[in-house]
Structure 1
Amino acid sequence: MPVMTARSRTEEHRASTPLELFFDLCFVVAVAQVGTRLVHAVTEGHALTGVGGYAAVFFAIWWAWVNFSWFASAYDTDDPLYRVVTLVQITGVLILAAGVPRAFDSGDWTVVVIGYVVMRLALTSQWLRAAHCTRGAERRVALRYAVGITVVQLGWIAMLLLPHGASGARAAVFVVLALAEMCVPALAERDRSTSWHPHHIGERYGLFTIIVLGETIAAATVAVQEAVYEHDALGELLPIAAGGLLIVFSAWWIYFAVPIHDYLRGSREAFIWGYGHYLILGSAAAIGAGIEVAVEEAVGKAHVSATAAAAAVTVPSALFLLTVWALHVRHFKRDLMEQLSLPVAALAILACTFAGGWAVFAAGLVASAAVTAGVLLSRRPAVAG
């Protein structure tokens, strides 16, 4: 068996590999599935239930991606065995994606959990391989990961044994297991951190954010295309399409305004930043679903009000701005004026909810103004002292 040892945190030119990019692209299938189910739930007037289902299923998708990405940052050997095990994980992703509709619509998590089992067994084997090839504290960390992942996975399997009608109990168990999942890294690395690479991790999260924003554009484009073809409502849809593009373009600009790897110096910053991306990525994907809802409302296909359809876009857009600001943009701001630009823009986008048929376009203008303000403020000469 080839040796698997930790890579150096100071390794130069550490970049995402083609296998990692392939892994990310396969996750787009699952993200697209959960976005589609959210659209259906909201347009049918079941927004609260839809958001709850979306949050739960998106967590499963996001957490599977997180586990792979941080392990790969520390132990990617890119040898044949590592590649084969990663391809097994990708198979699990596709199984999970196939189970998204049933999990979302009827609370049947069987297929999702099966896909999760495939991914987690593969990941556990990677940690056991790392433990086999290392010694001392590093070996203990790898074994803790393997044991922790296995124990929580048994919990997910046990959740399937609950009666199908016990939705409240399932929801409570889901929350407990999700919290347990997020505790595994903290417990495993309590006395030694894995050798994740700051630049590599920053790039991995950035690339996944790009993929999610790309899926948002793709979903919105298809929605507009179908509405124009079926209803010939180009006039009603142009403000939504233009505003949606401005929001997504601004989201990309704001996220990549600062080089985050300079901030990721230790495990404390990394845990908060990495976990917080659940909100960043979840809201980014929800923007696309919201644009689809707004399109369907504009042509009379959605059973929701214009204000509710607008909120489907403005709420995730505002959440995206606030979480990006809170997680890393604020660490690079020089004064109060720069600090307030994104929170104020988020509040203004929420206010756009009540702008009627022009709500999405108005939100897009606000997002664009936030980008412009950020660029102009950053170019001011630094104040001495």
Structure 2
Amino acid sequence: MTSPSGRPDVLRRPEDSRVTAIELFFDVVYVLAVTQLTELLLHRLHPAGAAGAAVLLLAVWWAWVDTAWITNWFDPDQPRVRVLLIALMGISLVMSSAVPEAYGDRGLWFAVAYVALAVGRTVFVASALTPRSSLHRNFQRVLVWRTSSAPLWLAGGFASGPLRLGLWVAAVVVDTSAAACDFYVPGWGRSRPTEWVIHGSHLAERARLFVIIALGESILVAGTDFGALRHGWAPLAALVSAFLGSVALWWIYFDRSAEAARSVIVAAEEPGRLGRSAYTYLHIPMVAGIIVTAVGDDLTLHEPTGTADVAVISTVLGGPALFLAGFLLFKRAILGIRSRVLLVAVGVLVALGPLGPLLSPLALSAVATAVVATAVVRSALLAARRTTRDTGTGNETGTGTGRPAP
């Protein structure tokens, strides 16, 4: 392969969009990261704690998704790229292990690991690209942004208490706004998404795998918690509700939309733009929703009876609502579809909040699961009806036409 963008021994071939074994191996570390984030939020169920968990979630997400973009351009089976991924995997392991104590004794560990990931990865990429290529200039801009946030991360690691959180909030704002600002650097201009020629199929598959990681972690946590409890009908019912809730979230994402979205980004004239909006930004609320839901499942399993408190209500209802809201935005961005069914489901979950104190955690969990499951069934029936109608009229059934869906 020859390309003006980089050296032929490290770039993917234009026709190669597969997810490689080393990429799947790399993702193993992020199973731990999601588990640690769930544990952190579980023990910090107050506004400042939730804000702190959100900051770490964004840091973990950028550590993962930036690497997913790198392996979209660079061939993970090439020795140098493989060594890079193994090194990033080891650093990610340190970062993930530090999450539960990131606002305690391990703050500097987390900050150093994150900065090493962000800066080291970008330096490698910039050095592997030919200086005259647009992609090389793109990663020079990325490096400026990542090194700009690095002092804030490191200063936060040395600080403590509210100061650490404040510095890390500022750092994650820089990192999160970078792509939205097209990595603008005075004198160097912007990196246009039209220049980001990506393998849309690869990026879509990588995002789908991360959703599987998050859902799998939530099931793992629920099963582990149930195994440690004294068995009874209430914990068993809570486990069933948690499991069915995870299945419902999986169904919403994977039944039709995930594959339809992959087809759209593959055929898109500007896949880089869709990759930035739909897969880089709009997956964040979905992953956050899964983590919050897992926390709600944990609380329900340990105290299924009694009265639901604010923490239970916020997580049991807020987690699925956050996931559905993120999925609605994702579906709108890439498929041009507005789902009234899912929008109603979000509204119902929010409306149930004031009624939460009247229910037990188990009852509230069952109601939340029923709302999401009803949305799944209703959406499937409407999709089947549309398919039958389109087939009967001789039209090909397609997704991403921009036609509003019920």
- Residues 213, 204 of structure 1: CA spacing in aligned structure 2 closer, same or farther, 3 A cutoff? same
8 Å Cα contact 2:135/2:196 also seen in 1:
yes
TM-score by length of 2: 0.81
Tell me, yes or no, if structure 1 residue 327 matches structure 2 residue 323: no
8 Å Cα contact 2:42/2:295 also seen in 1:
yes
8 Å Cα contact 2:149/2:175 also seen in 1:
yes
Distance in 1, Cα, partners of 2:301 & 2:88: 36
Deviation digits for residues 24-64 of structure 1, max 9, x if unmatched?
Answer: 1111112111211222233xxxx323312211111111110
Distance in 1, Cα, partners of 2:70 & 2:168: 24
- Residues 333, 160 of structure 1: CA spacing in aligned structure 2 closer, same or farther, 3 A cutoff? closer
Distance in 1, Cα, partners of 2:144 & 2:315: 40
Deviation at 1:109, TM superposition (A): 1.9
Distance in 1, Cα, partners of 2:120 & 2:52: 26
Tell me the number of residue pairs that the alignment of Structure 1 and Structure 2 aligns.
Answer: 364
Distance in 1, Cα, partners of 2:372 & 2:26: 31
Deviation digits for residues 214-262 of structure 1, max 9, x if unmatched?
Answer: 000000111122123xxx4x22123322221121101111112212123
Deviation at 1:299, TM superposition (A): 6.8
Q: Partner residue of 1:343?
A: 343
Q: Partner residue of 1:172?
A: 166
Deviation at 1:90, TM superposition (A): 0.7
Tell me, yes or no, if structure 1 residue 187 matches structure 2 residue 183: yes
Q: Partner residue of 2:113?
A: 115
SS of residue matched to 1:16: coil
Q: 5+ unaligned residues in a row in structure 2: which ranges?
A: 1-5, 185-189, 396-402
TM-score by length of 1: 0.85
8 Å Cα contact 1:279/1:323 also seen in 2:
yes
Greater CA deviation, 281-290 or 146-155?
146-155
**Structure 2 residue aligned with 1:280, among 283, 286, 310?**
286
**Structure 2 residue aligned with 1:250, among 248, 265, 277?**
248
1:213-292 map, 5 Å: 213-228=215-230, 232=231, 234-256=232-254, 257-258=256-257, 259-264=260-265, 265=268, 266=270, 267-273=272-278, 274-292=280-298
One-letter code aligned to 1:296: H
Distance in 2, Cα, partners of 1:144 & 1:67: 14
Distance in 2, Cα, partners of 1:319 & 1:117: 29
One-letter code aligned to 1:294: T
8 Å Cα contact 1:92/1:117 also seen in 2:
no
1:1-385 map, 5 Å: 3=8, 6-7=11-12, 11-12=14-15, 14-42=17-45, 47-104=46-103, 106=104, 109-131=107-129, 133=130, 135-162=132-159, 164-165=160-161, 167=162, 169-185=163-179, 186-187=182-183, 190-191=191-192, 193-228=195-230, 232=231, 234-256=232-254, 257-258=256-257, 259-264=260-265, 265=268, 266=270, 267-273=272-278, 274-298=280-304, 305-306=308-309, 308-328=311-331, 332=335, 339-352=339-352, 354=356, 355-356=359-360, 357-380=362-385, 381-382=389-390
Which one scores higher on RCO, CA 8 angstroms, separation ≥ 6? Answer: 1
Distance in 1, Cα, partners of 2:299 & 2:62: 26
Distance in 1, Cα, partners of 2:141 & 2:48: 36
State the identity as a percent.
Answer: 25
8 Å Cα contact 1:34/1:101 also seen in 2:
yes
Distance in 2, Cα, partners of 1:181 & 1:285: 21
8 Å Cα contact 2:183/2:191 also seen in 1:
yes
